[in-house]
Amino acid sequence: MTDRGSGRGVYAGVDVGGTKTAAVVMNEEGEVLGRARRPTRPGDSGVVESVVAAIADARRLAGITAPLRAAGVGVPGAVDPVRGFVGRAVNIGLDGFALADAAAAALGVPVRVDNDVTLAAQGLAHRLGETSLALINLGTGFGVGVVLDGAALRGHRGAAGEIGHLPFDPRGSRCGCGLVGCLELSASGGALARAAGGRSVPRLFSDAAAGEASSATAVEAFCAALALGLRIVVQAYDVDTVALGGGVFASQAMFMPRVRAIIDDQAASSSFLRDLRITERLRVVDDTSSSAAEGAANWVRESSTIT
């Protein structure tokens, strides 16, 4: 590959996931020049090393020698994006770590850190040419990233989109957040994995479809919770597009028709809900990890090139 961006510098974006760390390198025009993916090493020094190595891989694989100007990093957890401080990201072994400072010291360039789903929503909006989009990422929890008028919505305390911790099941179990019966205890990949017990999630769906009672009950609860989550996102943000991502959507044929039917049934008796046309806004997307890395690179590129 040619070394476009040569002389003017390049920008890196990294998505640090629970198992894989994905990196992209782009030029000042926002064109992706190189990509790489490697296993994530957890913990403070492991995450920094994973970020540095993934960027180095992406540069080397694409033959990029232009200087790195800045890097953006997405992590699955609570982040103060102003300081680049990660509060708690259990899947990658961080709990109170100044990741932006540590990665900046290791890379020798400014580093910004944000929540992975927020960055994935930005990357996806950029790729689709949308300025009004929410991404719901069903992983261990119910992650929501929102882009309004082309900009990421983070909120006063970084809590915009924390819909997964609204109450759904008053008889439910206690959530990691301390509350009882949170939506994400029912509407997440984690919820399906728990319901599946020793089975795979696709097996849970096929058992439910075959009429096995406890599986059918679990899948119905998941569909009802997801339908409510979709409604909350649309009614709170009124975004044009609601993108749905996460590994569980590989089985979307087993549950999305039911989720759409639940929303359509509710809309049948409400012209208010019908006029929102919620199901028309839904769009299943794949590879949110690449979107997060692209969103992270664009974030630092745009904030570097504006000034």
Region from 53-61, 119-127, 169-177, 201-209 binding Zn ion, contact rule CB under 5 A: 169-177
At residue 245's C-alpha, the angle toward residues 77 and 146, to 5°, is: 60
Instruction: Assess 78 for contact with Zn ion (CB under 5 A).
Output: no
Identify which range of 86-94, 165-173, 212-220, 256-264 contacts Zn ion by CB under 5 A.
Answer: 165-173
DSSP symbol at 176: T
Verify binding: residue 281, Zn ion, rule CB under 5 A: no
Nearer to Zn ion, 224 or 282 (CB): 224
165 binds Zn ion per the rule CB under 5 A: yes
Q: Find the shortest distance in angstroms from Cβ 193 to Zn ion.
A: 17
Would you tell me how many other CB atoms lie within 10 Å of the CB of residue 95?
A: 12
User: Could you say which of 90, 105, 179, 261 contacts Zn ion (CB under 5 A)?
Assistant: 179
Q: How many whole angstroms separate alpha carbon 18 and alpha carbon 197?
A: 21
| Residue 139: partners with Cβ closer than 8 Å, 6 or more residues away | 76, 188, 189, 190, 246, 247
* Residue 246 · residue 116 · CB < 8 Å: no
Write out the E strands in 222-278.
241-245
Nearer to Zn ion, 107 or 182 (CB): 182
Stretch that binds Zn ion, among 63-71, 119-127, 158-166, 273-281 (CB under 5 A): 158-166
Q: Which stretch binds Zn ion (CB under 5 A): 14-22, 178-186, 252-260, 299-307?
A: 178-186
Q: Does 177 bind Zn ion (CB under 5 A)?
A: yes
Only one of the segments 122-130, 176-184, 216-224, 273-281 lies at the binding site for Zn ion (rule: CB under 5 A); that segment is 176-184
Cβ neighbours of 205 (radius 10 Å): 24
Residue of 175, 180, 236, 273 interacting with Zn ion (CB under 5 A): 175
Interface with Zn ion, residue 159, by CB under 5 A: no
Judged by CB under 5 A, the residue of 109, 125, 182, 187 near Zn ion is 182
Query: Which tokens sit at 31?
Result: 């064109």
Residue 175 or residue 273: which is nearer to Zn ion going by CB? 175
Q: Which helix (H) or strand (E) holds 273?
A: helix 271-276
Q: What is the 3-state secondary structure (H, E, C) of 120-169?
A: HHHHHHHHHCCCCEEEEEECCCEEEEEEECCEECCCCCCCCCCHHHCECC
Sites of contact with Zn ion (CB under 5 A): 165, 175, 177, 179, 182
